[in-house]
Structure 1
Amino acid sequence: MVQQRPVLAATLPVVGTAAAVALWWLAVVAFDIEPYLVPAPPEVARVFADMPGDLFAEAKVTLGETLAGYGISVLAGVLIGTLIAGSRTVERAVYPMLVALNAAPKVAIVPLLIVWFGFDSAPKVVMAVLFCFFPITLATAAGLTTTPADLVELSRSLAASRLQTFAKIRFPAALPQVFVGLKVALPLALVGAVVGELFAADAGLGYLITSSGGSGNTALAFACVALLSAISIVLFYALVAIERMTLPWVRATTA
């Protein structure tokens, strides 16, 4: 029975996806929806068959912007989250600005980014950073401020320095919470990159969605959305695999 669990875990997502596609197809046929409004799954599949090179070339652009923005957010978010957790002064000085930045309507910032950075990949990378920076910072700060008290007392009894306590106890203990923020932020980075492409781009899946909407090619837009979903799923589970390799004790203690 235990050996069947991995098979079941791998099968259920496939079954769920197939059921969703079947319901989509059934709704299109049952309600006689026009293809220019909602295409049937075979029409979307035909787009993948007719132009795989174009789709994957644009996906490569979007993926590069997403990973660049996400990487910047991880470095900056972990650093600032660490500073916030380590100093009440920094927390009081920085936290209100972070909350205000996160609450700002990011779509409204796109025209400014175009003025500042032009039409190349920089505005999309910045949008990815704006979308995913806050969850990483918040998760890092939360993880570092909830270190078990007995571990902190143990480090003090061993006369560990503040740096040693951080490196050996506080940061490892915070990693599960940090990975929660990383997993929340990763799909948001993709969303940010696509939002930037919708407004100012000559490449990427967001640009392809905009151009397909202008030409009435709804099947192409659906294909782009499906490809974006697939990219998000692959990136998310790649991060989950990294988490399991990095923190094997968490899975063992919570099983």
Structure 2
Amino acid sequence: MSTVPVRTGARRVLDGLTRPAVAAVTVTVAIGLWQALTVLTGVPSILLPAPTEVAAALRGNRADIARHLAYTGYEIGLGWLTGVGVGIAFAGLMAASRRLRLAVYPLLVSIRIVPLVAIAPLLIVAFGATLYTRVLMAAILTFFPVTVATLDGLLSVPSSQLDLLRSVEASTWTQIRHVRLPNALPSIFAGVKIATPLAVEGVLLAEFLAASQGLGHAVLQAAANLDTPLLFAEVALIVGVGLALFGLVAGYERQRRWSDGTDGLGGFGTRGGGAPAPTPERALFGAVALAALGGSWVAGTVVVPNAAVFLPSPSAVAASLWETPDLFLTAAVGSLHKLAVGWALGALVGGTVGAVVAFAPRTRPVAGPFLVGARVTPTIVAAPLLLVWLGISFSAATVLIALATFFPIAVATASGLTTLPETHRSLLDSVDTPRRARLFVRLRYGVPTVLAGVKLSIVSGLSGVVIAEWFVANGGLGVLVNQGMRNLQPTLTYAAIACLFALGMVLFGGTTLLQRRLDW
């Protein structure tokens, strides 16, 4: 009996804490456990430095780190602003022009399935290892999620409001400004938040591949020198940059009193806003867009100076696939094997965390900081750490891919298991439904949302495969992409990217069909 007041008092204390306070306490406890682990186990600092050693490395190298941080932050800021601005503007054009939307939207959704990190070597070869190349990489990665999410929001507007403006003959731009844009803000914020870690990842990836300054370059130097405390300090700063940028977006969103309510799962082309036309018309415009894209590609090989270095003709790419099918098939099987094992590990951990958060709501304030950290941390920052711990190995690739797929599965599971409508919940309570049957109903309603997370995890997993095969693993399509550009064989690179696109389309399309079939 005496324990009841103590437990109640503890819960009151926890409930009285604000979410930032709970997050701060959680992170502090985690750092304390980390310090205790390193002291009690005596693990070498080359494998796991203590937090005090990381702080000492940060202080001892603060001048160099500050210089690298300022340079990388400048690149990320420019790329992020460019991608967000162009993405929102282009979405507005598509919302205003139905024909443009029908022609371009399917291409945007299709391109998003391709691991866009694979184009980094192409940009470096085409434009050199310059500041503008890294900014362009960040802008490209940011552009697609912002554009798709913004367009979905602009087209998901109550028809009654549009009918009212049409009745007074308001122009298309007036409708966008006064109705579509205000209604689209939650979706825009969702897309911008999804794009934030992608901008960081784009810059870091370009710095990893070819740069003489910046945090990406500094991280590689620390890993090569086996200076693990400094490596941890620089990785922590990268995570801090992502958190700061994400926090700015989330803080502004809260000030505007909008919330996407999706934890990053929205704005991925799963809504119907982008495809209002009948299927035959969409197919016609899509075919025209593909033909125009192919024509531009062919024209580029003729008009662009030195195009042979980075832009082979479509016929040359097709010939490469036709003449060496075994090479690409073997590489594709290797990449698929890594993806399957890494995705299974990420799905297992992510699904478990999501289920715990869904069924034990009191764990959310504790799990929240780590989920946000996982959301804003670029997958590529794990590559140097895995090189130190596991070397170039299949295990390192598996862990990196699991890190890339963990977050969307965790959030989708947590969201899906809590999507049971309140009316259904009340009805189950009224008939005293057994716990097992109640669990089955929650699973039944949660499956479509979980599958939406699976689709996101496929895209992030393919990007993880490419990054893993560049830095911590041997074999696979990612190796062919990088090998082609290093050996000035762009045909090999483009053929490997085409295989990655085909692999992504098959996996993404199959999951989409399953999701539609199970969408209750």
TM over 0.5: yes
Long gaps (5+) in structure 2: 1-13, 260-520
Whether the 8 Å contact between 1:102 and 1:130 is mirrored in structure 2 is no
Long gaps (5+) in structure 1: none
More deviation, 93-102/34-43: 93-102
1:206 equivalent to 2:187? Answer: no
In 2, Cα distance between the equivalents of 1:182 and 1:197?
23
In 1, Cα distance between the equivalents of 2:15 and 2:202?
36
In 2, Cα distance between the equivalents of 1:151 and 1:110?
44
Q: Aligned with 2:18: secondary structure? A: helix
In 2, Cα distance between the equivalents of 1:155 and 1:38?
62
Is the alpha carbon distance of 1:111 and 1:171 closer, same or farther for their aligned partners in structure 2, counting shifts above 3 Å? same
Q: How much has 1:29 moved relative to structure 2?
A: 3.6
Whether the 8 Å contact between 2:38 and 2:48 is mirrored in structure 1 is yes
* TM-score, reference length from structure 1: 0.87
1:229 equivalent to 2:239? Answer: yes
Whether the 8 Å contact between 2:96 and 2:172 is mirrored in structure 1 is no
Q: How much has 1:206 moved relative to structure 2?
A: 0.6
Whether the 8 Å contact between 2:46 and 2:227 is mirrored in structure 1 is yes
1:240 equivalent to 2:250? Answer: yes
1:114 equivalent to 2:100? Answer: no
Amino acid at match of 1:113: L
In 2, Cα distance between the equivalents of 1:76 and 1:120?
21
* TM-score, reference length from structure 2: 0.45
In 2, Cα distance between the equivalents of 1:233 and 1:5?
25
Corresponding residue for residue 39 of structure 1: 49
1:148 equivalent to 2:158? Answer: yes
Kindly name which structure, 1 or 2, has the bigger radius of gyration based on alpha carbons: 2
In 1, Cα distance between the equivalents of 2:139 and 2:110?
15
In 2, Cα distance between the equivalents of 1:165 and 1:240?
27
Whether the 8 Å contact between 2:154 and 2:180 is mirrored in structure 1 is yes
Amino acid at match of 2:30: A
In 2, Cα distance between the equivalents of 1:91 and 1:162?
14
1:49 equivalent to 2:49? Answer: no
Amino acid at match of 2:180: R
**Counterpart selection for 2:186 from 176, 184, 192:** 176
Amino acid at match of 1:211: Q
Identity level (%): 35
Cα shift readout 1:21-68 (whole Å, capped 9, x = no counterpart): 223333334443221122111110001111212112111111111111
1:43-192 equivalence runs, <5 A: 43-192=53-202
In 2, Cα distance between the equivalents of 1:195 and 1:28?
31
Corresponding residue for residue 206 of structure 2: 196
In 2, Cα distance between the equivalents of 1:179 and 1:92?
24
Corresponding residue for residue 217 of structure 1: 227
Q: How much has 1:115 moved relative to structure 2?
A: 1.6
Q: How many residues align?
A: 246
More deviation, 72-81/149-158: 149-158
Q: Aligned with 1:36: secondary structure? A: coil
In 2, Cα distance between the equivalents of 1:6 and 1:152?
44
Q: How much has 1:108 moved relative to structure 2?
A: 3.0
